[in-house]
């Protein structure tokens, strides 16, 4: 039996940065772009070294956080562990029955720590790396969740923080950043404009931008959403996953996570289908998929799903490739369907997700109805954020409290009225 | 006609490490030609083997992606700002 790794003394498991186009190699520095092709750089690993260090048992005995998978992550030394990861994988009964699926699971990152979205995974890795590189100020371009996470975890780590968001974000996302007292730049423009500005700032300010110059390290954190699902399914891969698509990074990294578990002998190889979810009002990847293109044409976002409103997705082409290679689908849904998706998940599973999760659930439903997910497939839907952050999106689409006087008669009248409304299948009209 | 050009870090070794340049050109295509004259090798880095602008580079004129404008033929006026940005950021 292998011995649990001494993580501080273990042989390094990550070796270099490699260009995704052309294969040029680079040292492990804060770089994110290939000088030859301008393609993204990705961390390469020594899988033999990982195989020597990990077993199912050593992982299971590790911390109850993403750091149980440390040999698969591109960091050395002391990590920032704020309890991120190991979120519940819920076996769905009521939603599964409603949709007609036999084996449906919800990976619930709406309760990820510390800021209630999957972004805590990538930020924990990025800021651990930022500290290794010696950055004293960290930053990001964000649609909201990333700003929350970067602000919170940098506060914990004692790093200075300056984050950039589009000015029109939901109030919960703004407040959920400001409370940690970073410098917050609310840019008058959409996310793609924020992102461009940050790239320009990154050129001349020596900051660690988690999703720009630290992006190769940062994005590796999303693999843990693959690792955890495989471990929580009893060390096996699902048949089909559905995840939201914004930049396309999360979607492709879940697959990288699955593949790495196969390469290191932790799970058996299996053909997993990858399906992606976009909002119709920002669906550049879905449009390309439906038109059979292998390139993504940027769009200007206009959707309630602000957290995934990226009109110019960095990993869009790779997301398209993955959907094609795995016989998956990329689909989009309207804002009304997104709200219904949020409500459906809440009413059937007791999980309140934000608009990105609503998008995923609505696309899951649409794919099942179109016969594109087999009822017998073990399917995992990734819910990546928390509904309390985007309350205004469902305002006016849910019920209202019944006002009652503090006496029995008033209660009984109200109760009768609520029964009547139920019998009439009363629905609030969308305004 | 003078245009301000913002150069990303990965291209600054062709521009004597300058992040901001002043340059001439009536449209984006012409601007690239002029940049090549001053900084030999620059243009070659922007295009792939087929001569097309590389897919991982975005060009913006006054903050607008040229794919929403007139692509390489997007006209430039005195005082415009052209930004060249690697596409692989964000998300």
- Across the interface, of B7, B19, B86, the residue whose CB is closest to A33 is B86
Q: Are A200 and B57 inside 8 Å of each other by CB?
A: no
Three-state DSSP at A163 gives: strand
Instruction: Please spell the DSSP secondary structure of A387-417, one letter per residue.
Output: GGGGGGGTTTSS--PPP--SSHHHHHHHHHH
Instruction: Please spell the DSSP secondary structure of A106-146, one letter per residue.
Output: EEEGGG-TTTSBTHHHHHHHHHHHHHHHT-SEEEEE-SSHH
Q: What pLDDT is recorded for position A291?
A: 96
Chain B residue with minimum CA distance to A194 = B90
Among A266, A234, A221, A210, residue whose Cα is nearest residue A85: A221
Among A377, A352, A381, residue whose Cα is nearest residue A364: A381
CB < 8 Å from B in window 173-202 of A: 189, 191-193, 195-196, 198-200, 202
DSSP A254: H
Q: What pLDDT is recorded for position A71?
A: 98
- Across the interface, of B12, B19, B60, the residue whose CB is closest to A196 is B60
ipTM for the whole complex: 0.89
Q: Are A196 and B63 inside 8 Å of each other by CB?
A: yes
Q: Cβ contacts (< 8 Å) between B9 and chain A: which residues?
A: 33, 202-203
Q: Are A38 and B85 inside 8 Å of each other by CB?
A: no
Q: What pLDDT is recorded for position A76?
A: 93
Q: Are B86 and A38 inside 8 Å of each other by CB?
A: yes
* A99 backbone dihedrals φ, ψ, rounded to 5°: -90, -20
Q: Could you tell me the residue ranges of all domains in chain A? A: 89-115+221-393
Q: Over its length of 431 residues, how does chain A's per-residue pLDDT go in tens digits?
A: 334 444 445 778 999 999 999 999 999 999 999 998 999 999 999 999 999 999 999 999 999 999 999 999 999 989 999 999 999 999 999 999 999 999 999 999 999 999 999 999 999 999 999 999 999 999 999 999 999 999 999 999 999 999 999 999 999 999 999 999 999 999 999 999 999 999 999 988 999 999 999 999 999 999 999 999 999 999 999 999 999 999 999 999 999 999 999 999 999 999 999 999 999 999 999 999 999 998 999 999 999 999 999 999 999 999 999 999 999 999 999 999 999 999 999 999 999 999 999 999 999 999 999 999 999 999 999 999 999 999 999 999 999 999 999 999 999 999 999 988 777 665 555 54
d(CA A302, CA B17): 38
Q: Are A310 and B63 inside 8 Å of each other by CB?
A: no
The CATH class that applies to domain A89-115+221-393 reads: alpha beta
Q: Could you tell me the residue ranges of all domains in chain B? A: 2-86
Name the most confidently modeled range: A18-32, B32-46, B49-63: A18-32
The CATH architecture to which B2-86 belongs is Roll (3.10)
């Amino acid at each position: 039996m292998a011995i649990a790794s001494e993580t501080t003394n273990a042989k390094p498991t990550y070796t270099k940065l490699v260009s995704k186009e052309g294969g040029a190699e680079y040292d492990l520095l804060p770089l994110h772009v290939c000088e030859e092709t301008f393609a993204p750089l990705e961390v390469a690993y020594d899988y033999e070294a990982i195989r020597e260090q990990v077993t199912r048992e050593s992982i299971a005995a590790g911390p109850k956080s993403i750091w149980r998978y440390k040999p698969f992550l591109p960091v050395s030394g002391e990590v920032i562990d704020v309890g991120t990861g190991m979120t519940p994988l819920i076996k769905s009964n009521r939603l599964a029955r409603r949709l007609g699926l036999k084996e449906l699971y919800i990976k619930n990152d709406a309760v990820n720590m510390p800021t209630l979205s999957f972004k805590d995974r990538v930020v924990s890795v990025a800021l651990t790396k930022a500290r290794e590189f010696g950055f004293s100020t960290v930053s990001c371009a964000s649609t909201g969740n990333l700003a929350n996470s970067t602000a919170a975890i940098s506060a914990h780590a004692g790093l200075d923080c300056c984050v950039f968001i589009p000015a029109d974000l939901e109030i919960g996302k703004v407040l959920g950043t400001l409370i940690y007292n970073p410098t917050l730049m609310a840019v008058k423009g959409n996310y793609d404009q924020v992102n461009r500005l940050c790239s320009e700032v990154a050129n001349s300010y020596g900051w660690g931008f988690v999703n720009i110059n630290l992006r190769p390290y940062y994005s590796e954190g999303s693999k843990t959403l693959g690792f955890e699902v495989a471990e929580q399914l009893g060390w096996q891969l699902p048949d089909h996953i559905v995840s939201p698509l914004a930049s396309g990074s999360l979607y492709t990294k879940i697959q990288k996570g699955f593949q790495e578990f196969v390469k290191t002998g932790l799970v058996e190889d299996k053909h997993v289908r990858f399906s992606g979810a976009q909002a119709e009002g920002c669906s550049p990847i879905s449009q390309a998929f439906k038109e059979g293109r292998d390139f993504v044409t940027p769009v200007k976002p206009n959707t309630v799903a602000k957290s995934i409103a990226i009109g110019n997705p960095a990993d869009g082409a790779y997301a398209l490739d993955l959907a094609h290679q795995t016989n998956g689908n990329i689909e989009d849904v309207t804002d009304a369907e997104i709200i219904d998706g949020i409500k459906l998940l809440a009413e059937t599973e007791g999980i309140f997700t934000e608009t990105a999760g609503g998008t995923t659930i609505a696309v899951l439903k649409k794919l099942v109805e179109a016969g594109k997910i087999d009822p017998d497939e073990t399917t995992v839907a990734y819910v990546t954020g928390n509904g309390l952050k985007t309350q205004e999106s469902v305002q006016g689409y849910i019920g209202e409290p019944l006002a009652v006087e503090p006496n029995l008669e008033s209660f009984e009248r109200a109760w009768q009225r609520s029964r009547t409304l139920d019998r009439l299948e009363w629905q609030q009209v969308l305004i | 006609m003078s245009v301000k050009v913002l150069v990303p870090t990965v291209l600054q070794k062709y521009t004597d490490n300058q992040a901001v340049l002043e340059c001439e050109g009536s449209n984006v295509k012409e601007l690239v030609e002029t940049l090549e004259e001053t900084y030999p090798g620059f243009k070659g880095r922007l295009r792939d083997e087929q001569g097309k602008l590389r897919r991982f580079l975005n060009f913006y004129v006054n903050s607008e992606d040229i794919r929403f404008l007139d692509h390489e033929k997007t006209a430039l006026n005195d005082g415009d700002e052209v930004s060249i940005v690697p596409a692989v950021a964000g998300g």
